[in-house]
Amino acid sequence: MNVQDKLAIITGSAQGLGKAFAVELLKAGAYVCLSDVNSEIGEKSMNELGERFGKEKVFFIKCDVLNKDDIVSLYEDCEKIFGKTVDIFCNNAGINHTPGWKLCMDIDIMAVMECTEYVLDKMDMSKGGKGGLIVNTASLAGIGPGVSREAASYFVAKHGVVALTRTLGTDNYLRETGVKVQCICPAFAQTAIIQNIDQYSAFSAVVKKFGVMTPEYVADAFIKLVTRCKTGDAIVVLNDVPPFIYQDYSREWTMVLAAGAKLFNSAFGVEIFTPRLQMVFLLAIFLAVHLLLYIIF
Ligand SMILES: NC(=O)c1ccc[n+]([C@@H]2O[C@H](COP(=O)([O-])OP(=O)(O)OC[C@H]3O[C@@H](n4cnc5c(N)ncnc54)[C@H](O)[C@@H]3O)[C@@H](O)[C@H]2O)c1
């Protein structure tokens, strides 16, 4: 999407990744409505970005994503203030698991669903909207395996965000509604959310492996996602690695495993097609292809 003159709302953007995403959108010529439950930092950021990009380009509206009325007011007030319809909505507000699994799930997935349901109804062309783009801030935690019981809710929530993006991010849905849905999956970035990370050795190990990125580094991948990638794309952002799209091959992989399970059952009476047998199956396919190529050429 060309974001020039487009209007974007970013939840949880008083600071951290959301604020860095706002900077990239503003640099590309968009109008940005910052929003956050923390209005003190949010208003500071609005003033700072207003000085840099022009006061008419950026505004702050307080919004607690746990509160449906706040979400509705955010959207409606934003359109009134800027005098145009919203084109881009970023579900970015988030917390880590330390305040407890329920709050983590409420903010990191339930509120994302709530905002998405509301925004889809507003943007959906088949309901009188003009289409648009929803960008979800997921995480590498939404793709990889969980690292500890304490953080289980964060991993579950972020997997949900990736699943939501892929469910809605289909070409058919885009044709029907005019709404693109994407997500960004960063590893660790230096923001307030990881302040208390040292308490958790499992997380520390992940930090050691991938390093910690700056919010600006993640935001560079964010703007590439928004301006150059297609609906359903989940972009992974790792330190010192060019961003890449993490394609979901689970459907194709399921078909391969189903074929293997059937074959091993009919040929050897295997009842459960375990990972070890799957490796044998893949090796057999590899050798068969190799042999075929040898015979042909
Ligand atoms: N920093 C990382 O390492 C990292 C990695 C992957 C994904 N993420 C995700 O990035 C997003 C942004 O986090 P961040 O790293 O910038 O952290 P951050 O703490 O700097 O920013 C999160 C913002 O969300 C706001 N927020 C919290 N609860 C809210 C609520 N109920 N309503 C509205 N706003 C609320 C906070 O006030 C804060 O300003 C989160 O979804 C997070 O899960 C972060």
Cα separation, 152 vs 254, whole angstroms: 25
Query: 34 in helix, strand or coil?
Result: strand
Cα separation, 215 vs 10, whole angstroms: 15
Please, what is the average pLDDT of the chain?
A: 95
Give pLDDT, residue 203: 62
pLDDT band at 210 (very low <50, low <70, confident <90, very high): confident
Give pLDDT, residue 297: 87
- Fold annotation for 7-245: Rossmann fold (3.40.50)
Segment 91-115 shows an average pLDDT of 97
Give pLDDT, residue 197: 62
- Looking at the chain, which residues constitute the CATH 3.40.50.720 domain(s)? 7-245
What is the distance in A from the centroid of ligand 1 to the CA of 90? 12
**Pair type for strands 234-237 and 244-245:** antiparallel
What is the distance in A from the centroid of ligand 1 to the CA of 196? 14
Question: Is 80 exceeded by the pLDDT of residue 175?
Answer: yes
Q: Which residue has the tokens 């503003």?
A: 26
CA distances (Å), origin 117, targets 122, 165, 212: 9, 12, 33
Question: Is 60 exceeded by the pLDDT of residue 199?
Answer: no
Helix segments in 5-129, DSSP class H: 16-27, 39-53, 68-82, 101-105, 111-123
Nearest-CA residue for atom 7 of ligand 1 = 139
Q: Collect all residues with Cβ–Cβ distance below 8 Å to 232 and sequence separation of at least 6.
A: 165, 166, 168, 169, 170, 181, 182
Give pLDDT, residue 198: 60
**Closest to 222 measured CA to CA, from 13, 24, 7, 9:** 24
Determine what percent of the chain is predicted with pLDDT higher than 90.
Answer: 92
Using one digit for the tens of pLDDT, what is the confidence trace for 214-233? Answer: 999 999 999 999 999 999 99
Cα separation, 8 vs 22, whole angstroms: 8
What is the distance in A from the centroid of ligand 1 to the CA of 95? 5
Determine what percent of the chain is predicted with pLDDT higher than 70.
Answer: 97
Segment 155-167 shows an average pLDDT of 98
Question: Is 90 exceeded by the pLDDT of residue 267?
Answer: yes
Whether ligand 1 lies within 6 angstroms of the CB of 106 is answered as: no
Using one digit for the tens of pLDDT, what is the confidence trace for 32-60? Answer: 999 999 999 999 999 999 999 999 999 99
Using one digit for the tens of pLDDT, what is the confidence trace for 120-151? Answer: 999 999 999 999 999 999 999 999 888 889 99
Cα separation, 232 vs 212, whole angstroms: 26
Q: Collect all residues with Cβ–Cβ distance below 8 Å to 134 and sequence separation of at least 6.
A: 88, 89, 90, 91, 116, 119, 120, 123, 168, 179, 180, 181, 182
Nearest-CA residue for atom 6 of ligand 1 = 139
Q: Are 17 and 189 in contact (CB under 8 A)?
A: yes
Whether ligand 1 lies within 6 angstroms of the CB of 22 is answered as: no
Q: Are 123 and 132 in contact (CB under 8 A)?
A: yes
Could you give the residue numbers annotated as active site?
A: 154
Question: Is 70 exceeded by the pLDDT of residue 201?
Answer: no
Q: What are the strands, taking DSSP E only, across the chain?
A: 7-10, 31-36, 58-62, 88-91, 132-137, 179-186, 234-237, 244-245
